[in-house]
């Protein structure tokens, strides 16, 4: 509040002083002479102007006439400004009459002097009011833009956290189901699977600390997950990797690849008696990165438009890269589904 008040007073005093200097400059330019009475009157006008416009500011806030203004408020403001102009003219003409700061050779009563001051001083009050409101409109617009940016940032942060909060439970439950299937059949392998699960959880917890993670780390998580799934599916699950080494250091949204692979297993491979395959491809293409998951199945089986895997992937890409990233789903020939994520290169 003190900072805003100091800015107001700096502008207030600077504006009125500039007005006084401008009047002196024009009078001297045309008349080439300045008498003491004129300087005294001008000084009085400046002092009264500061006081009267400050009173106008206080009334604007007291009557809640700050922008944005409705129609009835605008009428009230115009009446208020007009009243201040009349008050300014009455006070200035009365002081000048009382102090005798006028040329005795020029005869004129108080009423004529009042009308003279009203015509002369009203424009500066209206100019002051206009500049005051322009300042407030600009300031309000700037604050609105700043608040909008802050709100967008907060929404983005909350959405990302919400998506992540869904990812980890979704992944953990599926991994635990894989381990549960091994407890009775092969306890030794189950213990190995628990160790692998702990590695995955450790990696996923570290991934939550950042908005992005190197592809190499995400591949490590996916390989541990597929190792768990291989215990359940055995030879029914075939895994292939086609990874361009140049893309290993590129950042990707944490757990995104894991979610796509998990969907491929859950909705594609697991629904077929003979199982199927999952192929993970990472490559550079036309100054962009392509992260692809191909799997056995059809688009109708493997993915649902309202499913978590599809929605979370699309939402995270939109939040992190905007229109620079794309997520494509399509059926290839011979019963293969392709989920492709296209992201910009990290520069």
- Give the SS3 label for residue 198: helix
Q: Model's pTM, two decimal places?
A: 0.51
Q: How confident is the model at residue 68 (pLDDT cuts 50, 70, 90)?
A: low
Q: What percent of the chain has pLDDT over 70?
A: 79
What CATH architecture applies to the domain 186-344?
Answer: 2-Layer Sandwich (3.30)
Over residues 93-111, the mean pLDDT reads: 70
Calpha distance 221→196 (Å, rounded):
9
Calpha distance 233→180 (Å, rounded):
13
- Burial readout 190-228 (b: 16 or more C-beta within 10 A, e: otherwise): bebbbebbeebbebbeebeeebbbbbebbbebbbbbbbb
- Give the SS3 label for residue 185: coil
Q: Is residue 333 within a helix (H) or strand (E), and if so which, with residue range?
A: none
Minimum mean pLDDT range among 63-77, 118-132, 143-157: 143-157
Q: How confident is the model at residue 105 (pLDDT cuts 50, 70, 90)?
A: low
Q: Are 281 and 290 in contact (CB under 8 A)?
A: yes
The answer on pLDDT for 232 being more than 70 is: yes
Tell me what pLDDT residue 4 has: 56
Tell me what pLDDT residue 208 has: 54
Minimum mean pLDDT range among 149-163, 244-258, 321-335: 149-163
Over residues 140-147, the mean pLDDT reads: 75
Neighbours of 288 (CB within 10 A): 14
The answer on pLDDT for 144 being more than 80 is: no
Instruction: At 167, give phi and psi (nearest 5°).
Output: -65, -50
Q: How confident is the model at residue 278 (pLDDT cuts 50, 70, 90)?
A: very high
Minimum mean pLDDT range among 16-25, 81-90, 190-199: 190-199
Domain boundaries, the chain: 2-150, 186-344
Q: What is the mean pLDDT of the chain?
A: 79
């Amino acid at each position: 509040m003190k900072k805003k008040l100091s800015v107001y007073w700096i502008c207030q005093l600077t504006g009125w002083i500039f007005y006084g200097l401008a009047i002196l400059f024009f009078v001297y330019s045309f008349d080439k002479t300045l008498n003491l009475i004129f300087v005294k009157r001008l000084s009085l006008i400046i002092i009264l102007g500061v006081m009267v416009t400050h009173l106008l500011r206080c009334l604007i806030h007291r009557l809640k006439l700050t922008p944005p203004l409705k129609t009835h408020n605008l009428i009230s403001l115009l009446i208020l400004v007009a009243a201040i102009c009349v008050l300014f003219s009455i006070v200035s003409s009365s002081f000048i009459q009382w102090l005798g700061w006028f040329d005795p050779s020029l005869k004129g009563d108080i009423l004529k002097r009042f009308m003279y001051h009203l015509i002369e001083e009203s424009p500066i009050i209206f100019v002051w009011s206009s500049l005051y409101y322009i300042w407030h409109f600009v300031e309000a617009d700037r604050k609105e833009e700043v608040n909008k940016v802050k709100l967008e940032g907060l929404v983005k942060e909350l959405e990302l956290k919400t998506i992540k909060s869904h990812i980890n439970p979704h992944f953990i439950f599926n991994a635990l189901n894989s381990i549960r299937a091994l407890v009775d059949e092969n306890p030794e392998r189950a213990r190995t699977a628990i160790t692998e699960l702990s590695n995955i959880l450790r990696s996923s917890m570290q991934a939550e600390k950042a908005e992005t993670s190197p592809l190499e780390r995400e591949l490590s998580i996916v390989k541990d997950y597929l190792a768990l799934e291989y215990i359940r599916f055995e030879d029914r699950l075939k895994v292939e990797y086609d990874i361009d080494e140049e893309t290993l250091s590129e950042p990707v949204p944490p757990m995104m690849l894991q979610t796509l692979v998990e969907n491929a297993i859950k909705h594609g491979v697991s629904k077929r008696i003979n199982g199927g395959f999952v192929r993970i491809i990472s490559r550079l293409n036309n100054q962009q990165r392509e992260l692809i998951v191909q799997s056995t199945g059809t688009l109708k089986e493997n993915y649902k438009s309202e499913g978590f895997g599809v929605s979370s992937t699309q939402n995270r890409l939109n939040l992190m890269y905007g229109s620079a990233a794309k997520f494509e789903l399509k059926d290839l020939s011979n019963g293969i589904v392709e989920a492709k994520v296209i992201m910009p290169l990290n520069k």
